[in-house]
Chains A and B, each alone.
Chain A
Amino acid sequence: MRKVLSLTALALSVLAVSGMSAAAEDTVKIGYIDPLSGGGASVGEVGLKTFQFLADEVNAKGGIQGKKVEIVPLDNKTNPQESLIQAQKAIDAGIRFLTQGNGSAVAGALSDFVTKYNERNPGKEVLYFNYAAVDPVLTNAKCSFWHFRWDASSDIKMEALTNYMKTVPAIKNVYLINQDYSFGESVRTAARAMLAAKRPDIKIVGDEKHPLLKVTDFSPYIAKIKASGADSVITGNWGQDFELLLKAAADAGLKVNWYTYYAGGTGGPTAIKQANLDHQVFQITEGIANLDHPASQEFEKAFRAKYDVSVFYPRAVNEMRMLAAAADKAKSIDPVKVAQALEGMEVEVLDGGKGNMRKDDHQFFQPIYISSFGDRSAKEPFDEEHTGWGWKLAARIDTPATVVPTTCKMERPN
């Protein structure tokens, strides 16, 4: 049903654009390219709601440069090929800003597509805002002037995580378990390199790769972790691979601390509660609901009241607010001018503190939070997925301690 509705909305918006080109001048359209059907739909829908909420927020304040913002949902089924078709469709409908987050393979294809399109079509440039694809390559070897990333790359997250881990002397034996694809690979290589540099006394007692979304029973992996004598596990696993891993660990009675990238993803909190791992699962994010920061708590309250889900993408908030700020700074919604205004821009991020868009590679740097999931005290007003449990702050890594070098050599328009 929702798909039908979104398709209808899309069809109508396309009609609206082609039918009334004069009216199109009055809106800033953002093409939201992410899965709205298939396996990734549960994640894609949360993202869409977030952007629609943000568009309403911007519109309530008078829009961007006096123009209303409109989010146009485009379903890519988490497929790179389909994403390019949707991007072309968006461009044909006059959309100049694209945003996408799920899957680094999709992000790579989109960045490449937008870069080539802009080379061939000067004067009709399109910008691509990446809010969740974390493969470091997008802001290194394959960086592009037209791509901006608001999420911390997996290297930045590992930099922040290891900066935290080096202050915890109880960590002595670390086990790595990751999905066998580009993202899992970058998590394990970064973990090995950074731990060796910052805490050479920590032993890597295991380094496991397993096929992506194919494992039903994780108990043999848990048996290996147990046999290795690990006290901490680092994993980039998400979705079912995360949930089943934790359940198997709880079943076997494995007592370790889990350092994760995506424990907060849809279904993650439910799985942790079911496994009863009270404050043993940590995540690395750019914000959590239970921060002692009134502005972000207000936002959280309003968002939950409207959609009954928690704010999973504080970075999307930063993205939209910075788009509006950049347009104000450039006094234009021309993508090239907006891009130039975004470069090096420094802002106050949703969860408090300074963030900046590095000019060299278009990677956004912001404070990163390590938090654990479990029973709440009076200081943690928000729970997750109606479990009664919530995220508790363990450490805040300020922006300067998250900066990693880049190899990006960017070609800029004249």
Chain B
Amino acid sequence: MTSSRPSGLAPQAGWGKRLNRTLGQLVLELLVISTLNGVLFGMLLFLMASGLTVIFSMLGVLNFAHASFYMLGAFFGFQISRWFGFWPALLIAPLLAGAVGAGVERYGLRRVHKNGHVAELLFTFGLAFVIEEVVQIIWGKSPVDFRVPPLLDFPAFTIFSTNYPAYKMFMLLVSIAIFVGLLLVLKKTRIGLIVQAALTHPHMVGHLGHNVGRIFMLVFGVGTALAAVAGVIAGPALVTQSNMAGLLGPILFVVVVVGGLGSLPGAFVASLLIGLVQTFAVSMNGSLSGAFGPLSPAYEATWLADIWGVTIAQIAPIMPYLLMVLILIFRPMGLLGTRDT
């Protein structure tokens, strides 16, 4: 309604123009568009994985419920934007989700922590189901109508006749801002120093007069709030539905593992890498049969034919998982990780 996109279709014109272009132009177009798409997707991944990385690197807790806090953020954002508009939602929803996260740490995780990592994992695993059920009871199982705010609902620029919406640019900026902001807080401020010290030497930090429990609660709260920021921002761009956590979960762990468990710059690099790898793979139609010619008829009916005929584009979304497996084999601590726990 607020969009200014013209409707109707004019296929012939586009087709004619395409034929007149040279091969070089086509390759350039493919490179530019794929790079742009890859960077945008990568930044979206980082937005979603940053909170997970913070919690893991600071607390050593692998939070299986992280994607659930992302979903909570999206639904809080949806509800608050209904009442007060998108921008207040972008502020209030993460605060709410952060408060929920802090509460979970204070009254749940802290007690469970005494029983070791396995108990923690199981706790967050169960929490994910609880959150999903609660969201279903309140908002139902169907997708909700969460829209991009009118202020950002226009194409920011057009390149090779493809629009790039302003909202995606906003997503990119927020993602970079979060990266820089977190890095500064952790490396350059007193709070960052205390937080880092509390992870490796909790008793010493405690003896120095700091409340270690509160620091942990704060970190967990910030981590979940970051997940909620991602939820509020990605909600309108993707689908806000009660199964969104389950669908997103696995890829976030890939980002964290590839980047190096607990490394913020690592997660940033890994997100970009995964975004680019996946996007470029989709644009390639090559297959083994394309490279080496068709399979000999003797093998036509075997499983080999399936592998031979599959295109790179077809397996593109599986590439990140392949990358994760390779990283775990050859560089278990991840790209920029410092420890291999």
Contact of A251 among B41, B137, B142, B165 (CB under 8 A): B165
Interface-centre pick from B34, B142, B148, B163 (highest chain A CB count, 10 A) = B142
Inter-chain contact B5/A253, CB cutoff 8 Å: yes
| B residues less than 8 Å from A219 (CB atoms) | 37, 40-41, 279
Contacts A223-B283, A231-B9 given: A251-B163 contact, CB under 8 Å?
A: yes
A328 / chain B contacts, CB cutoff of 8 Å: none
Binary contact track A272-302/B, C-beta < 8 Å → 1, others 0: 0110111110000000000000000000000
**Interface assignment of B241: CB less than 8 Å from any CB of chain A:** yes
A94-121 to B contact mask, C-beta < 8 Å, 1/0 = 0000000000000000000000000000
B340 within 8 A of A: no
Digit string of B55-67 for contact with A (CB within 8 Å is 1, else 0)? 0000000000000
Q: CB-nearest residue of chain A relative to B147?
A: A274
Q: Is the CB of A251 within 8 A of B241?
A: no
Are B248 and A216 in touch, CB under 8 angstroms? yes
Contacts of B161 in A (CB 8 A): 226, 253
Alpha-carbon distance between A215 and B241 when the two chains are bound, in angstroms: 15
Which listed segment binds B: A15-23, A153-161, A240-248?
A240-248
- List CB contacts (< 8 Å) of B139-162 with chain A: 140-143, 145, 147-148, 155, 158, 161-162
Residues of A within 8 A of B300 (CB): none
B3 at interface by CB-CB < 8 Å: yes
Interface membership of B15, Cβ < 8 A: yes
In the bound complex, residues from chain B placing their C-beta under 8 Å from that of A255 are 6-11, 14
Chain B residues near A216 (CB, 8 Å)?
41, 44, 238, 247-248, 251
The reply on B68 being an interface residue by CB < 8 A is no
Contact A247 B5 (CB under 8 A): no
> Which of these, A1, A215, A274, contacts B145 with CB under 8 Å?
A274
User: Is B143 within 8 A of A220, CB to CB?
Assistant: no
Q: How far is the CA of A219 from the CA of B167 in the complex (A)?
A: 14
Q: Do the beta carbons of A42 and B140 come within 8 Å of each other?
A: yes
Asked if residues B137 and A1 are in contact (CB atoms below 8 Å), the reply is: yes
Q: Is A257 an interface residue (CB 8 A)?
A: yes
Query: In whole angstroms, what is the CA distance A244 to B7 when docked?
Result: 20
Which one of A39, A216, A247, A277 has the greatest number of beta carbons of chain B within 10 Å? A216
Nearest B-chain residue to A253, judged by Cβ: B163
Task: Flag if B143 contacts A267 (CB, 8 Å).
Answer: yes
Q: Are A253 and B155 in contact (CB under 8 A)?
A: yes
Asked whether A270 is an interface residue with its Cβ less than 8 Å from the other chain, the reply is: yes
Residue in contact with A224 in the complex, picked from B12, B238, B282, CB distance below 8 Å: B282
Binds B, one of A204-212, A345-353, A355-363, A397-405: A204-212
Determine how close the nearest CB of chain A comes to the CB of B1; give it in whole angstroms. Answer: 7
| Nearest Cβ on chain B to A285's Cβ, whole angstroms | 19
Q: Does B278 contact A (CB under 8 A)?
A: yes
Contacts of A250 in B (CB 8 A): 5
CA distance A39 to B278 in the complex (A): 25
Instruction: Name which of A250, A276, A278 has the most chain B CB atoms within 10 A of its CB.
Output: A276
Complex CA gap A213/B241 in Å reads: 14
CB distance from A360 to the nearest CB of B (A): 29
CA–CA, A244 and B5, complex, Å: 18
B34:A220 contact, CB within 8 angstroms: yes
B12, B26, B143, B167: most-surrounded residue (chain A CB, <10 A): B143
A247 pairs with B237, CB closer than 8 A: yes
Is B185 in the interface zone, CB < 8 Å from A?
no
Chain B interface mostly: helix
Is the C-beta of B323 less than 8 angstroms from some C-beta in chain A? no
The A173-224 residues at the B interface (CB cut-off 8 A) are 173, 180, 208-211, 213-217, 219-224
Q: Is the CB of A220 within 8 A of B162?
A: no
Return chain B residues, CB-CB under 8 Å to A41: 136, 141
Q: Per a CB cutoff under 8 Å, which of A252, A270, A278, A385 touches B7?
A: A278
CA gap between A267 and B144 in the complex, in Å: 8
Residue B314 lies at the interface, judged by CB distance under 8 Å to chain A:
yes
Contact B314 A223 (CB under 8 A): no
Nearest CB on A from B315, distance (A):
8
- B313 located at the interface, meaning its Cβ lies under 8 Å from any Cβ of chain A in the complex: yes
Q: How far is the CB of A125 from chain B (nearest CB, A)?
A: 35
Contacts of A223 in B (CB 8 A): 30, 33-34, 37, 162, 283
CB contact under 8 A between A243 and B239, given known A223-B283, A230-B11:
yes
Does chain A have a CB within 8 A of B18?
Answer: yes
Contact (Cβ within 8 A) B11 A256: yes
Residues of B within 8 A of A42 (CB): 140-142, 241
The 8 Å CB contact of A256, one of B9, B243, B316, is B9
Which residues of chain B are within 8 angstroms of A277 by Cβ–Cβ distance?
A: 7
Closest to B153 in A: A276
Tell me which residues across on chain B come within 8 A of A244, comparing CB atoms.
238-239
Please, how many angstroms separate the alpha-carbon atoms of A215 and B40 in the complex? 15
The docked-state distance in angstroms from the alpha carbon of A253 to that of B239 is: 19
Q: Check if A68 is an interface residue, CB within 8 A of chain B.
A: no
Q: Is B317 an interface residue (CB 8 A)?
A: yes
Task: List, in ascending order, chain A residues with CB within 8 A of B318's CB.
Answer: 211, 214
In this complex, the member of A253, A273, A276, A387 whose beta carbon has the largest number of chain B beta carbons within 10 angstroms is A253
A378 beta carbon closer than 8 Å to chain B? no
Complex Cα gap A172–B40 (Å): 32
Complex interface bits, B226-259 against A, C-beta within 8 A gives 1, otherwise 0: 0000000000111101010011100100000000
A78 to chain B, nearest CB (A): 12
CB distance from A1 to the nearest CB of B (A): 6
28 contacts between A and B (CB under 8 A): A41-B141, A172-B15, A173-B11, A208-B313, A210-B314, A210-B317, A211-B317, A211-B318, A217-B44, A219-B41, A219-B279, A220-B38, A220-B283, A221-B282, A227-B26, A229-B11, A229-B14, A230-B11, A244-B239, A255-B8, A255-B14, A257-B9, A267-B143, A271-B239, A273-B145, A274-B147, A277-B7, A279-B7
The 6 closest A-B pairs by CB, nearest first: A231-B11, A253-B163, A42-B141, A267-B143, A220-B282, A229-B15
Chain B residues with a Cβ under 8 A of chain A: 1, 3, 5-12, 14-15, 18, 26, 29-30, 33-34, 37-38, 40-41, 44, 136-137, 140-143, 145, 147-148, 155, 158, 161-165, 167-168, 236-239, 241, 243, 246-248, 251, 275, 278-279, 282-283, 313-318
- Given A208-B313, A231-B15, A387-B145: 9 more A-B contacts, CB < 8 Å: A211-B318, A220-B278, A223-B34, A251-B167, A255-B6, A255-B10, A257-B9, A267-B142, A278-B7
